Amino acid sequence: MPHIQIIGIGTGNPEHLTIQAINAMNAADAIFIPTKGAEKDSLAAVRREICNRYIANHSTKIVEFAVPRRVTADRTYLQSVDEWHASIAEIYVGLIANLPPAGEGAFLVWGDPSLYDSTIRILERAQKLGSIGFEFSVIPGITSVQALAASHRIPINLVGKPIEITTGRRLLEQGYHTQNTVVMLDGDLAFSKVGDPEVEIFWGAYLGTPEEITCAGRLDDVADEIIKARAQARQRHGWIMDIYLLRKGHDFDDL
């Protein structure tokens, strides 16, 4: 039965890879690299660079596959994601079917497979299709949350306080209510609508790469600067991956 490794590769720095990840890549018969069109080819390029740097096994094949676009028209967010995942699951089945009967395959996942990535759930969906049997394992990677904290030289939490990790869509819907809130996938600039003068923001884009940009300060003071930097970077690269921490208060405020 084929076996699949889901490998976290960090946020774009090839040196984020763990030894466990490198060993798994070299044990693979095929490494599957998703492509998302010319605009986002640099994402695939990082994966290619990682393979070129670390794979010493000359029998390992690099297999690229196109990720279908998510259709959003006349659908709710959950409906569009459900249909999209179903389409990708069919593609995964085809990729795995081309492995040897007891072969090893690997998907290289941006950041860590556990955090706002769907490779695990899509592979589970592929298993349920029943057309091919396979097993899978997960190798963790450095998350954008860790990279953000490292770039700003901060701990994510305040002493004795909880952390929330959410999306820009949820922040818009539910508002800011946890002192330490990490926000990912914010295409709607939800931070600009928080409207609390006591909130600080620690923002970063392209973390871990030569193109990394960071900004921090009182949200009211730097929000416009972040919006401008984000727009310029998106125009320059054709895409953007950013993340930020919203924080209110300080350590030991309760004493």
pLDDT digits (tens, 9 = 90+) for 45-100: 889 999 999 999 999 999 999 999 999 999 999 999 999 999 999 999 999 999 99
Q: Quick one: pLDDT band at residue 255, thresholds 50, 70, 90? A: confident
**Residue-number span of the structural domain to which 110 is assigned:** 3-139
Number of domains in the chain: 2
What pLDDT score does 39 carry?
67
* Domain shared by 216 and 126, yes or no: no
Q: Which of 162, 145, 240 is nearest to 202 (CA)?
A: 145
* 3-class SS string, 183-219: EECCCCCHHHHCCCCCCEEEEEECCCCCCCEEEEEEH
Domain assignment of residue 128, yes or no: yes
Spatial distance between the Cα atoms of 4 and 70, rounded to a whole number of angstroms: 24
* Domain shared by 19 and 38, yes or no: yes
pTM for the full predicted model: 0.91
* Domain shared by 150 and 232, yes or no: yes
* Domain shared by 134 and 103, yes or no: yes
User: Could you give the count of Cα atoms lying within 13 Å of 25 in the half-sphere of its Cβ?
Assistant: 26
Q: Examine the pLDDT at 197 and tell me if it is beyond 80.
A: yes
Domain closes at, from 115, 139, 163: 139
Domain assignment of residue 209, yes or no: yes
pLDDT digits (tens, 9 = 90+) for 125-156: 999 998 899 999 999 999 999 999 999 999 99
Q: Are 209 and 11 in contact (CB under 8 A)?
A: yes
* Domain shared by 189 and 234, yes or no: yes
